[in-house]
Structure 1
Amino acid sequence: MKRASFADLYRPRAFGEVYGQASVVDCLSSLIQRGQIGRDILLHGSVGSGKTSLAWIYARALNCEAPQADGSPCLTCDTCRGCDRPGPDGNPCGRCGPCRQKDGQAIAGLHSYNVGRKGGSRALVTAWTEPLVRTTPRHRYKILFYDEAHALRPDACDGLLELVEQSENRVLFFFATTEVDKIRPALRSRLFDLLVRPLSPDDAYRFLEVQARKARPPEPPLDYEPEALALLAGLRRGLPRDLLLGLDRVHEPGTRLTVARVRAAFDADQTEPLLTYFGALAEGDLAAQTALMAGWQESVNDKIAWIQAFLLSLYANDIRHRRLRVDGLIDAIPEGDRAPILVRFCQRLNLRKPADLAETWHRMMDFWSWPAQRLAKPDRAGDIALSLRVALFHRLVNDDLRAECGRNVEDRSDSIAPVHTLNQHGPTVTLPSRGFGEAPPSPVDCTAGVASEDPQYLTAADARAIVNRASFLMQEYGALFNTAFVVRPGLLGTTSEADSIALIDAFGEALADQVRAWGGPLSARLTLFVREGREVYGRLVAHLPRPGPGQAGGDCLARAPDWRRAWIARHGSSGEDAVVQETAGTDDAAALAFHWDNTLGLCAGLDPEILDWDPRVGACKSLVSLLGIQRQQGLGPIVGHPLVHAPGPLSDTAIARACVNRLEPLSAFDDRVWGELRSGWELREFEDRRATRRERERQLSTLSARHGPDSDEASDLVRRWSDDPKRRPRRWATWW
């Protein structure tokens, strides 16, 4: 019995079987779900990316008698299923119910024309098309599918344009092409444009994993090293057909698929020079670095691309411990070969552990933050320019990094500049704080008769945490959120929820690390993880320092756009849509409005049925309305991860630490004075809070000098201070 090839086994017949094309699948499946709506479509992408499979699934679903809930064809009705009684040669019988439904077509209502094989002249295309357009469709839709549509001549495109515009709604035109620019703009403008992308490294690996686990009689599922599939995923460009042909190429029945076999089959042997070169970087050995670069049999551009990829992989996976697939060849490098490189870097730079290498790695990645091709042309002058760049990189690694690592690396948290300073020999008495503590009860139970909240969606507790943390930033530090980011991992090739969240977190951490490297005294951020359709993205609001005249520290806000573009480039994209940034205005009113517009905007996913008490009208009202925001609809669940992330100075621990000795914060949200949320009272409270802290520290210092730092007198003084923040003295008109 001849075994089936992997490519033969992969014939997706439902939307759920299509890998890595979330946006295209969402578009087509939603058309079916909304009532089997037909559209003229243009599918374009690389050879073997799955364009034809998507066209066939959509065509089947359009004429299916009972589509599935996700929009896929049912595959069981007479319109969907194949012949009931095929002949000995496998050909359909032509007499059973499914055969009569299809009139000789493989898919009911679908008529295919391969332009590359049959010709793309206007005469040939029109001769095939017009009879089909003139006859009445037997099914809900008659679908004309033009494969290899880039072979259409310009006059044929013009003729099809007329037919597309004149045909009745029950006749649809599908086009698939690898060269979309060859489709006349006028025709393309009438079509639903769908780009079929190569699979991301993660999706390509998962795709191969699923196919490898399928039994192929008479053989059992494939036995493989995971690193071998990761390597194959990177080598085959993320195209499903190429991936499966590659799997057929390296598979030998009855044996385990190994990294060595994949490397041998595709002559992929870049890891040895790459590892040796990084070992020389770790040792700071200039002679070895220079010799290895000279002997590495690749173009300078390609060498730099390998360096960039391995730097990113080591940073994400081994320093930050955030799983990120970068390149199949890089991902296949085992931990036993990666870890010694980081250990040797730590030894040379006097660092305790690989996690302490984060800022060192930022310097190296920033150095290569532009794509190599952007600098050099593939000629001798370009190679010389890149070789000079490599020499400067060696100087950075060998000399500059060692000089920088003399400073303290103990504190790796989001650092803040305290607004108060205690003498190191001053009082040590501290009374712990609850920070904002538990949410106070509502005067009236607004949850009666309302379904309990689902933690996979935004809750009232999430909204409280967001608003109170933004308020605390102002009360404690006198600072505002002055920039906002939207991070879309999907545009960087990351599609799973866990990997998207990890990449969003990595962006926030890298931003905080960079602010420290710039000398910024305070960085703070809030992150909201959002699911919209199949996409998971992050919304961040942040405070980046912008010192005034005579103040120390770098202008981090002004430098952030260039850093953002460099971060995007490091993660494999040349477009800027992967991370979009917005910055606050400079005048006080605009800055305050930006702070609260973007903070409260994080709460836009709240269910309008979540209610809270409004003392102004004496009734329960929608929290969305009370916050004065417009609800964002169509958001999905985030599974297994909190929706709101507040690290550093806005974490629960940091807030409680800043509120010791009875300096609990105020909360307009908890007091339900909804009209004060945006008023900016916190900036006046900041001055009074600072004055109170200084006075209390003065009193404690006096008692410490008289009775010692841990005296009963000092403890009694702290306990006499009220834990009700409203009882502290103030100079501004309060709401109570």
Structure 2
Amino acid sequence: MSLTPVTPVTPVTSITSVTSVIPDLNHMSCETNSTSPGVALAKKYAPRTFEEVRGQREAVRLLRQLALRGKRARNLLFAGAFGSGKSTLARLTHMSLNCRHLTPEGSPCGVCDCCRDPRTFGYFEYDVPLRGGSSEEVGPWVQAVNSAPADHHARTLFFDEAHALEASAVDVLLTAIDRGSDRVSFCFATTEPDALKLPLHSRLIRLDVNALALAEAVQFMEEIAQREGIPYSIAALKTLCTIKQGHPRDLLIGLEHVASLGPVTIENVKSAFGLEPLSCLVEYFFALADADVRGQLLALERWQDDMKAKVQSIYSYLASLYYRDLRGRDVIIDPVVDSFEDGRATVIEKFRLRLGLEGRRELIPYWDKLISHWAGRELRTDPERWLSLASFGELAGNGLKHCRTQDEHRSAIITDGSVPSRVVRPCGASEIVNGEGSRTPNGINFLEPADVRKVMNLASFLIQHYDVLINAGLTVRPGPAAKSDSDGMGALKAFCWDLGQRAPRAHEVVDVIAVFDRDEDGLLAHVAVRVPAIPDWAGELNQWCNDWQHERFGPVTFDLSSSGADPVRFHWDQIRNLCAGLAIHDLLDKLGVPRRGRRPSGPVPTAPTWFSERLSDDAVAQACQLEMAPLSAFDDEAWDWIGKGWETKEHVDRVKTIAKRQQDVEELRRIWHADLCEQDRRLNALVAEWRVAPQNRRRRWHGWWVNR
């Protein structure tokens, strides 16, 4: 079978974020590709040159540059999961520093003595968990090998699983690094970079080695299978890659394991990795969808796992169906559960038919209710787990029939992006601006229509009440000091908070609306800003962003745009850009979000929206006292009025109405100051007169509701 040439992988954009190390089969050396029997695939296809590494061009570029700059050794940290390629990168770096025939691009040749056997040319490995992480164990080893080599150019001391180093050993290493030669490289690999002691971490160049995307992992496995003559099905390879989570060494070991049973088929993958109990899981969900209590019990009885594992698998499968099948998101909940494709569509279809729904997306509010059953439950004993499963079965069988009535408003928003029309009914400020998209118990959140509703309504309220317009837009990313999602979100929120509190001048109010998102390069924030119109405000804002740095999370990177000749248009262009990650295109069409500006939205660990102080729920409620709820073209589905600037005219009438009502209240209190009971009665009567839909207040301009 001929091997299709490998399509080059798109390079990552940051040298601190690299894809897992996998061999490029188009450049694999003849020795590595030897088909001699008995050679494990993981060893056989381990890269021996930088050309053989695929999926992390920026990392290779950096390591090549280090080799070309006088072959000076550097101290490196490789962070990533087991089997992702950390040791391979460290070994290749050492080879590039000692290769006798280094290529002009800085890659080891792969055939000289050092490239064939790096360990005989100064490459020393120390497995911390195996050999010990104390100073008594690490110190003598470092002292024995930490010297400039005489018969080759550079020496590498490689510490695997470095997070297991004790504090005393870190002190020894810090001294060795600080006093070391530029011909000795200290390299560290870890699966837990945040556990590494900070003084050591700060002395290293960090490279994050990430898992392969599912599509790339499947392509890799398919090429290896073709090269090795292993029969396979794409579905089986996809299942294997999902189980192994895209880590190349694990993928190769897994492929070899399954191939030892015969062709790589779904059945052999199930057998190799013990997936047979998942058939009982799917059988349980079939019975759940049919409201068949007896069938649920039979499936649980045939299921050979303990009760704790059963409950965990049920919740994982429920969440996996929610994200992957209902929302179409490629989110890994549980690699084993996610890999099991059999019956997923049938489960969804059974629920849809029983509930009388037209499409699978209409199941989302029902699934929210099923997921919420498990949120916050701590089930410590088997009886508790049995009772919880019984109530879960009752909920799935009989507790969903009223779900659509109870969640009618939310369901309409989620399924088609529309909201129930409310043209002339009374409402409060909280109804206009409150509400966020559904938040999941495992902290994976996407931009939802309810989030977009809040962003649009607050952007309109900003003009109606304060008569100000967004005049700057920022795209902000965490800097290299943010080592995790938690750090990244901390940096973005700290930046937004400080921006709203202190930029560009401490005595001025700055309004901020931010949407957090994730793309292929990681977490980021799209930020719309209203900066006071002071001289050179754009320059001051740019300088403030450049100077901003958090004591823990470090600086951020940003792109800044500012308003031009049409301030109203710029305001709404920035707000539409905040909403461009919503997955419901019908709603984006109604809002006028350009198709070319839309983008896929990734999951974030917190609520995806953030608002500065004047736009908080409490501040808006305070501004809307005396029954002064703002207008909402969004809620009234007056799509043609969004972005037309009517809020400026509304501001004039709003200010006058608020002043008149405050005057009426003060006058009433003055007249009845001696009779508090009568004062309260008359105040309540006055407020009752004002309690009408905001469209029914007196104003000098005519809105969308006049001719409806």
Contact 2:326–2:363 under 8 Å retained in 1? yes
Q: 2:512: which partner in 1?
A: 596
Please give the residue correspondences for 1:304-453 in structure 2 after superposition, counting only pairs within 5 Å: 304-334=311-341, 337-370=343-376, 375-377=378-380, 382-406=381-405, 412-416=415-419, 420-421=423-424
Q: In structure 1, which of residues 241, 250, 263 is the aligned counterpart of residue 249 of structure 2?
A: 241
Q: In structure 2, which of residues 180, 190, 196 is the aligned counterpart of residue 167 of structure 1?
A: 180
Matched residue of 2:157: which SS?
strand
Question: For 1:682 and 1:578, how far apart are their aligned partners in 2?
Answer: 40
Contact 2:84–2:247 under 8 Å retained in 1? yes
Question: For 2:361 and 2:432, how far apart are their aligned partners in 1?
Answer: 30
Matched residue of 1:288: which SS?
helix
Contact 1:24–1:195 under 8 Å retained in 2? yes
**Structure 1 pair 34/317, CA: closer, same or farther in 2 (3 Å)?**
farther
Please give the residue correspondences for 1:143-542 in structure 2 after superposition, counting only pairs within 5 Å: 143-147=156-160, 159-176=172-189, 188=200, 192=204, 199=211, 203=213, 206-214=216-224, 219-220=228-229, 222-236=230-244, 239-251=247-259, 256-334=263-341, 337-370=343-376, 375-377=378-380, 382-406=381-405, 412-416=415-419, 420-421=423-424, 507-509=446-448
**Structure 1 pair 186/482, CA: closer, same or farther in 2 (3 Å)?**
closer
**Residue 81 of structure 1 aligns to which amino acid in structure 2?**
C
Question: For 1:483 and 1:410, how far apart are their aligned partners in 2?
Answer: 14
Q: In structure 2, which of residues 558, 573, 591 is the aligned counterpart of residue 651 of structure 1?
A: 591
Structure 1 range deviating more: 119-128 or 260-269: 119-128
Give deviations 1:478-503, integer Å, cap 9, x for gaps: 9669999999xxx99xxxxxxxxxx8
**Residue 288 of structure 2 aligns to which amino acid in structure 1?**
L
**Residue 248 of structure 2 aligns to which amino acid in structure 1?**
P
Contact 1:79–1:108 under 8 Å retained in 2? no
Give deviations 1:337-357, integer Å, cap 9, x for gaps: 222322221222222221110
Q: In structure 2, which of residues 622, 636, 644 is the aligned counterpart of residue 665 of structure 1?
A: 644
**Structure 1 pair 206/9, CA: closer, same or farther in 2 (3 Å)?**
farther
Question: For 2:164 and 2:525, how far apart are their aligned partners in 1?
Answer: 48
Question: For 1:306 and 1:124, how far apart are their aligned partners in 2?
Answer: 42
**Structure 1 pair 302/686, CA: closer, same or farther in 2 (3 Å)?**
farther
Contact 1:349–1:405 under 8 Å retained in 2? no
Please give the residue correspondences for 1:666-705 in structure 2 after superposition, counting only pairs within 5 Å: 666=645, 691=698, 700=707
**Structure 1 pair 577/109, CA: closer, same or farther in 2 (3 Å)?**
same
Matched residue of 2:109: which SS?
coil
**Residue 219 of structure 2 aligns to which amino acid in structure 1?**
E
Give deviations 1:646-674, integer Å, cap 9, x for gaps: 67498128769855898972289xxxxxx
In the TM superposition, residue 210 of structure 1 has moved relative to its aligned partner by 0.7
Contact 2:277–2:304 under 8 Å retained in 1? no
**Structure 1 pair 179/415, CA: closer, same or farther in 2 (3 Å)?**
closer
Question: For 1:10 and 1:33, how far apart are their aligned partners in 2?
Answer: 26
**Structure 1 pair 686/203, CA: closer, same or farther in 2 (3 Å)?**
farther
Question: For 2:105 and 2:361, how far apart are their aligned partners in 1?
Answer: 58
**Structure 1 pair 305/12, CA: closer, same or farther in 2 (3 Å)?**
farther
**Structure 1 pair 394/61, CA: closer, same or farther in 2 (3 Å)?**
same
Matched residue of 2:304: which SS?
coil
Contact 1:63–1:79 under 8 Å retained in 2? no
**Residue 401 of structure 2 aligns to which amino acid in structure 1?**
R
Contact 2:240–2:339 under 8 Å retained in 1? no
Question: For 1:285 and 1:36, how far apart are their aligned partners in 2?
Answer: 70
Contact 1:19–1:207 under 8 Å retained in 2? no
Matched residue of 1:173: which SS?
strand
Question: For 1:242 and 1:301, how far apart are their aligned partners in 2?
Answer: 27
TM-score w.r.t. length of structure 1: 0.55
Contact 1:19–1:203 under 8 Å retained in 2? no
Give deviations 1:548-598, integer Å, cap 9, x for gaps: xxxxxxxxxxxxxxxxxxxxxxxxx9979779879999x9999x9574364
Matched residue of 2:402: which SS?
helix
Question: For 1:280 and 1:323, how far apart are their aligned partners in 2?
Answer: 26
Give deviations 1:426-468, integer Å, cap 9, x for gaps: xxxxxxxxxxxxxxxxxxxxxxxxxxxxxxxxxxxxxxxxxxx
Contact 1:624–1:630 under 8 Å retained in 2? no
Contact 2:515–2:526 under 8 Å retained in 1? yes
Question: For 1:125 and 1:144, how far apart are their aligned partners in 2?
Answer: 11
**Structure 2: gaps spanning 5 or more residues:** 1-34, 461-469, 517-523, 547-555, 561-575, 594-632, 659-693
In the TM superposition, residue 605 of structure 1 has moved relative to its aligned partner by 11
Question: For 2:528 and 2:64, how far apart are their aligned partners in 1?
Answer: 24
Contact 2:126–2:158 under 8 Å retained in 1? yes
**Residue 57 of structure 1 aligns to which amino acid in structure 2?**
L
Question: For 2:170 and 2:641, how far apart are their aligned partners in 1?
Answer: 76
Question: For 2:266 and 2:46, how far apart are their aligned partners in 1?
Answer: 27
TM-score w.r.t. length of structure 2: 0.56
Give deviations 1:665-694, integer Å, cap 9, x for gaps: 2289xxxxxxx9xxx889759999875598
Question: For 2:71 and 2:93, how far apart are their aligned partners in 1?
Answer: 9
Matched residue of 1:508: which SS?
coil
Q: 1:454: which partner in 2?
A: none
**Structure 1 pair 376/693, CA: closer, same or farther in 2 (3 Å)?**
farther
Matched residue of 2:512: which SS?
helix
Contact 1:160–1:187 under 8 Å retained in 2? no
**Residue 320 of structure 2 aligns to which amino acid in structure 1?**
S
**Structure 1 pair 398/141, CA: closer, same or farther in 2 (3 Å)?**
same
Question: For 1:162 and 1:628, how far apart are their aligned partners in 2?
Answer: 38
Question: For 2:438 and 2:54, how far apart are their aligned partners in 1?
Answer: 29
**Residue 75 of structure 2 aligns to which amino acid in structure 1?**
D
Contact 1:484–1:598 under 8 Å retained in 2? no
Contact 1:205–1:229 under 8 Å retained in 2? no
In the TM superposition, residue 171 of structure 1 has moved relative to its aligned partner by 2.8
Question: For 1:422 and 1:534, how far apart are their aligned partners in 2?
Answer: 48
Give deviations 1:227-247, integer Å, cap 9, x for gaps: 312322344465432321110
**How many residue pairs align between the two structures?**
533
**Structure 1 pair 22/524, CA: closer, same or farther in 2 (3 Å)?**
farther
Q: 2:683: which partner in 1?
A: none
Q: 1:450: which partner in 2?
A: none
**Residue 166 of structure 1 aligns to which amino acid in structure 2?**
R
Matched residue of 1:405: which SS?
helix
**Structure 1 pair 533/137, CA: closer, same or farther in 2 (3 Å)?**
farther
**Residue 240 of structure 1 aligns to which amino acid in structure 2?**
P
Question: For 1:15 and 1:300, how far apart are their aligned partners in 2?
Answer: 48
**Structure 1 pair 693/598, CA: closer, same or farther in 2 (3 Å)?**
farther
In the TM superposition, residue 282 of structure 1 has moved relative to its aligned partner by 0.9
Question: For 1:138 and 1:485, how far apart are their aligned partners in 2?
Answer: 64
Question: For 2:103 and 2:130, how far apart are their aligned partners in 1?
Answer: 30
Matched residue of 2:416: which SS?
coil
**Structure 1 pair 105/62, CA: closer, same or farther in 2 (3 Å)?**
closer
Question: For 2:198 and 2:487, how far apart are their aligned partners in 1?
Answer: 28
**Residue 366 of structure 1 aligns to which amino acid in structure 2?**
S
Question: For 1:532 and 1:13, how far apart are their aligned partners in 2?
Answer: 35
Of the two structures, which has the highest relative contact order with CA contacts closer than 8 Å and spacing of 6 or more?
Answer: 1
Give deviations 1:300-329, integer Å, cap 9, x for gaps: 221122112222222223222334444444
